[in-house]
Homo-oligomer: A and B are copies of this chain.
């Protein structure tokens, strides 16, 4: 099983950085491995609590925070408040439809040219996969309300 190996590898990193391996951390990382890459803290809590009902939401937040410190996890704000979390090994972008809320993934490569442009024009180092791109998905953009974009 690929995902098992991925979990163990990640746990190795955690230990390597001097952090303890706890039930909560194992469970959260497992949920991140299995659950895809648009999981909110609450999604993760729900998933984790299926097997470990007393792992508290605040523990999820603290775990995520620790994992971000050591670059194992990253989060993205999809626009309307709640953040979504994913393993840093998932390198992709989110295209979020602001009409229907659907999320499309695209490889980071799509943003390479933009990164180059911003670097040369402004010295700005784009952190791809740390922001969501808003717009309208194929279905919603061909519907009644056309995009109000120039």
Contacts and interface: CB of A to CB of B under 8 A. Distances in A.
Q: Is the interface of A mostly helix, strand, loop or mixed?
A: mixed
Contacts of A126: 133-135, 149
Contacts of A80: 77
Contacts of A108: 150
A119 to B, nearest CB: 9
B111 A138 contact: no
A15 to B, nearest CB: 20
Contact of A113 (B95, B113, B141): B113
A40 interface: no
Interface string A97-134: 11000001010101101110110011111111011111
